[in-house]
């Protein structure tokens, strides 16, 4: 959370994962390959934040870092090159 806010250009990993690259350099913890629609994960090997459009078993280990609670279908409208803004919402 210390690195927030983050921003980057959208890319796709297959059809069901959209991600953006960051300069975050961190190891992986509690890594898994199984994710549900709306999950958010960190791919430490690439320093990328990944958003899951559908349920996925990934070929790469990633660290779960959050979950979208609403409007997950908006991920389907993202196009490669769109700008992502990733921040912590405060009350």
Q: Could you tell me the residue range of the domain that residue 42 belongs to?
A: 6-86
CA dihedral 7, 13, 49, 30 (to 10 degrees): 180
Q: Is residue 34 part of a domain?
A: yes
Percent of the chain clearing pLDDT 90 (strictly above):
57
CA distance 61 to 78: 23
Give how many domains the chain has, as a whole number.
1
Whether the CB-CB separation of 64 and 38 falls below 8 Å is answered with no
How far lies 91's CA from each of 20, 41, 59, 88, in Å? 26, 23, 37, 10
Q: What pTM was estimated for this model as a whole? A: 0.86
Q: How confident is the model at residue 52 (pLDDT cuts 50, 70, 90)?
A: very high
Is the pLDDT confidence value at 54 over 90? yes
Model confidence at 2: pLDDT above 70: no
In a domain, 79, yes or no: yes
Q: How confident is the model at residue 90 (pLDDT cuts 50, 70, 90)?
A: confident
Mean pLDDT over 32-55 rounds to: 94
Determine the pLDDT at residue 80.
94
In a domain, 24, yes or no: yes
Q: Are 18 and 40 in contact (CB under 8 A)?
A: no
Q: Residue 4's pLDDT is what?
A: 75
Query: Please, which residues bridge with residue 48 across strands?
Result: 21, 43
45 exposure class (CB count in 10 Å sphere: 0-12, 13-18, 19+): exposed
CATH number at residue 54: 2.40.100.20
Mean pLDDT computed over 3-20: 90
């Amino acid at each position: 959370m210390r690195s927030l806010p983050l921003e980057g250009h959208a890319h796709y990993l297959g059809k069901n994962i959209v991600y953006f690259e960051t300069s975050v350099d961190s190891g992986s913890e509690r890594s898994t390959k199984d994710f549900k629609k709306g999950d958010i994960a960190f791919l430490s090997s690439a320093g990328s934040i990944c958003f899951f459009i559908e349920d996925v078993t990934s070929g790469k280990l990633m660290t779960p870092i959050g979950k979208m609670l609403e409007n997950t279908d908006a991920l389907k409208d993202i196009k490669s090159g769109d700008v992502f803004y990733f921040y912590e919402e405060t009350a």
